[in-house]
């Protein structure tokens, strides 16, 4: 039962990434594209956590945390670039 729920959540995550990718390429402005990219990173972090639960490997959680920190730094850098300040 638990494996079925994990598989369903991974499929839903993949649909979310597909929708965010469409917004990334179709977004009319730079802030829309930045939000779509941030959404993709959040969904991929949650997918990494789901894979860690499915595989029973704690090391994937460490990788997800590092990816989350790097994603946050990237979002701050994109926001400063879009804002025009450096």
DSSP conformation letters of 19-75: HHHHHHHH-SSHHHHHHHHHHHHHHHHHHHHHHHHHHT-THHHHHHHHHHHHHHHHH
What's the CATH code of the domain at 76? 1.10.287
Nearest Cα to Cα of residue 79 among 43, 42, 37: 37
| pLDDT reported for residue 46 | 93
pLDDT one-digit tens code per residue, 28-85: 988 899 899 999 999 999 999 988 988 889 999 999 999 999 999 999 998 898 888 6
Domain count, the chain: 1
| pLDDT reported for residue 52 | 92
Mean pLDDT of 2-30: 89
Residue 59 belongs to domain spanning: 2-83
pTM, to two decimals: 0.84
pLDDT greater than 90 at residue 18? yes
Q: At what angle do helices 59-83 and 30-55 cross, to 10 degrees?
A: 180
CA angle (24, 43, 53) in 5-degree steps: 160
């Amino acid at each position: 039962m638990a494996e079925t729920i994990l598989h369903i959540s991974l499929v839903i995550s993949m649909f979310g990434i597909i929708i965010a990718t469409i917004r990334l390429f179709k977004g009319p402005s730079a802030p829309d594209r930045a939000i779509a990219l941030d959404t993709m990173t959040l969904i991929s972090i949650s997918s990494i956590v789901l894979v860690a639960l499915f595989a029973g490997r704690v090391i994937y959680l460490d990788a997800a945390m590092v990816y989350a920190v790097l994603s946050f730094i990237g979002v701050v850098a994109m926001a400063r670039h879009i804002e025009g300040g450096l």
